[in-house]
Amino acid sequence: MSAPSTVATALLAAAEAAEGFMPADEGRALYEAARVVAVPGPLLEVGSWMGKSALYLAAAARETGRHVVTVDHHRGSEEHQPGWEYHDPALVDPHVGLVDTLPRFRRQIAEAGAEDVVIAIVTRSELLAPLWTAPLALLFLDGSHTEESARRDQDAWVAKLAVGGTLAIHDVFPDPADGGQAPYGVYQRVVGSGDFEEVPGAGSLRLLRRVR
C-alpha cells in the first residue's frame, strides 16, 4: 500500500483531530477501503454526526477524484436524546428544542478544507434512497443502531452498491456485552446473502466487497 498523498495526509490529520466517535484505526481502515475501491462511483455515508468519518472518506475522495455524499437528518440517534447516555445539551437548538449537529458538521468540514469533496444531504436516509439511482463505489452504514432503523438502512441502500464496490458497517459487535446488536445483524444478513466477501477491517468496522 502506497503512502497517502500530501492532500490526503492533511485531511487524515484533520479527521483524527475532529470531534466524533470513530477510533483512529477504524478511520484509517475506512480511508484505505475508500482509497482502493476499484469501481467508479461516489462514496456514500449513512450517518455523519459531526463529520469525523466523513473526513476520512474525504481524504480518499480527494486522492482519487471522487466525492463523498453524507446522509443524515442531524437530529441525533436515540442515544443522543435527552435522558440518554450520549445526550449533550450544548447540541440542542433552543429555537426548536431538538438536537442539531449540522452546524458542528459544517464547521469541521469547512475547517478541514473539504467542502469541495463532501456533499451533505440533510434528510432521513430512507427518504433519499428511492430518489438515488447512481451506483455506489462505497457505502458506509453508520446510522441509528436500533434494529428497525439498521434494517431499514440495509434495505434502502445495499442494493445500490455496484458489483466490486465496498460495504463498510460500523459498530459491529458479536458480543452483546460490547455494544448493540443491530449492526451485527446487518453484517450477518449481508454475509449470509452470498453476494459479498469479507476483506480485512479494524475494530468494530467490517468491510465487505460485493461480488455479485
Active site members: 145
Question: Given CA atoms 64, 121, 139, 114 in this order, what sign does their dihedral have?
Answer: positive
Q: Characterise 99 by phi-psi region: left (phi > 0), alpha (psi -120 to 50), beta (else).
A: beta
Give every CB contact of residue 19 below 8 A, 6+ residues apart in sequence.
Answer: 50, 52, 104, 108
Helix (H, G, I), strand (E, B) or coil at 117: coil
Which one, of 145, 103, 93, 94, lies nearest residue 19 by Cα?
Answer: 103
C-alpha cell at 75: 437530529
